[in-house]
Structure 1
Amino acid sequence: MYLELDKIWYDVYASIIIMRKSARIVGDYRYLLSRKWDASKPKITFVMLNPSTADAKQDDRTLRKCIHFAKSLGYGSLQVVNLFAYRATKPRELRKVTDPVGPKNNFYIQLATRRTSLIIVAWGTHGGFQGRDKVVQNLISSKQTLYCLGVTKYGYPRHPLYLKKNTKPIIF
């Protein structure tokens, strides 16, 4: 009986997926967000507009959707960087601050996009603010193919939050 309980405990414990969470946050800026659940699988990087509430401890709705896409595509970890590192729950808040990009943001974008298997750009229609979408595309190595989860009618890469869960990446 005791051995059976041990085996049951082991089976339940073995099926638990442990997720490592980390974030690089300095003041009002979040430069990098990471989640890892399977080190044996490749890493995916999402380049979005700006960080919201997710941090090293909690996930927000957008991050949960990105994790879903990453897992469904066979990845074991993800990184999130943004065109603008300033933390805001609404894109219009970016226009109210002196430096929405953040002093170290370009460094973290380059770092994250160099160490990844797939890059998904997903900044939505506000990416053209300050021409930041073009700046970031130029920062990312020309050797990397950029993917997106669809484009808006104006040609911007769609933000993942409101997309169907079976959406597949396409070349941007």
Structure 2
Amino acid sequence: MFYNNRGILQKNYAAKLNFLIEKDALFNKNKTKRFLLTRSWSDGEKQNSCVFIMLNPSTADCKNDDPTLKKCIYYSNKFGHNKLSVINLFPHISTVPRLKDFSFCKKNHSIVKEVISENEIIYLAWGFNFKIKKWLKRVLENKKVFVLEMSKNNTPKHPLYLKKNLNPIPIYF
């Protein structure tokens, strides 16, 4: 059984971001795994959504934003989006991921594929020495895929510690 929690809060993330944000999150029953996190903001305009693919979830939920999510919202808004979905390669919630957190989860795999299929613009941002898997490359085919910055080992950098003046870099498979 999975629970869908909603909350609507007023937040001010940056000088240009001061509007109503709808918040949504999908967890397992005991909230040890988060499968999907969404934020949407608009003034009745057409929805322009994007997806950030991260490594594993941290502390953000349907009511609270963590520093990483705030940075993803900043970039999403900067790049012209008004809806953000965050999915993770591994659903185990942890602020300090360990090897045990990287086990395969069928439910998460299914949700990752579904969310990607419903969106055109995808940002890779897992910030860990993790090479993209073949199944993920297949799912990302025909999508507009970007990174904010690449690491020396050619993996997407995590957004939290990046400068705010970056522009998306297209990735081709």
Q: Fold conserved (TM > 0.5)?
A: yes
Q: Are the counterparts in 2 of residues 67 and 78 from structure 1 also a CA contact under 8 Å?
A: yes
Task: Give the unaligned 5+ runs of structure 1.
Answer: 1-14
Q: Are the counterparts in 1 of residues 129 and 153 from structure 2 also a CA contact under 8 Å?
A: no
In structure 2, do the counterparts of structure 1 residues 62 and 136 end up closer, same or farther at CA, with 3 Å as the change threshold? farther
| Higher mean displacement: 82-91 or 134-143 | 134-143
Alignment of 1:85-100 (within 5 A): 85-91=91-97, 93=98, 95-97=99-101, 100=103
Alignment of 1:2-13 (within 5 A): none
Instruction: Quote how far apart the aligned CAs of 1:83 are.
Output: 0.8
Task: Provide the C-alpha distance between the structure 1 equivalents of 2:60 and 2:93, rounded to a whole number of angstroms.
Answer: 9
Tell me the TM-score normalised to structure 2 length: 0.80
Structure with greater strand percent: 2
- Larger relative contact order (CA 8 Å, sep ≥ 6): 1
RMSD (Å), alpha carbons: 1.9
1:59 aligns with 2:62: no
1:169 paired residue number:
168
Classify the secondary structure of the residue corresponding to 2:158: coil
1:102 aligns with 2:101: no
In structure 2, do the counterparts of structure 1 residues 89 and 135 end up closer, same or farther at CA, with 3 Å as the change threshold? farther
| Greater C-alpha radius of gyration | 1
Name the count of aligned residue pairs: 151
Q: Are the counterparts in 1 of residues 120 and 144 from structure 2 also a CA contact under 8 Å?
A: no
Tell me the TM-score normalised to structure 1 length: 0.80
Match among 38, 43, 55 for residue 34 of structure 1: 38
The one-letter code of the counterpart of 2:40 is K
Instruction: Quote how far apart the aligned CAs of 1:135 are.
Output: 4.3
Structure with greater helix percent: 1
Cα deviations across residues 8-42 of structure 1 (Å, max 9, x unaligned)? xxxxxxx9621110001003110000000015230
Task: Provide the C-alpha distance between the structure 2 equivalents of 1:100 and 1:23, rounded to a whole number of angstroms.
Answer: 21
**Segments of 4+ moved more than 4 angstroms:** none
In structure 2, do the counterparts of structure 1 residues 64 and 36 end up closer, same or farther at CA, with 3 Å as the change threshold? same
Task: Give the unaligned 5+ runs of structure 2.
Answer: 1-16
In structure 2, do the counterparts of structure 1 residues 167 and 21 end up closer, same or farther at CA, with 3 Å as the change threshold? same
In structure 2, do the counterparts of structure 1 residues 141 and 59 end up closer, same or farther at CA, with 3 Å as the change threshold? same
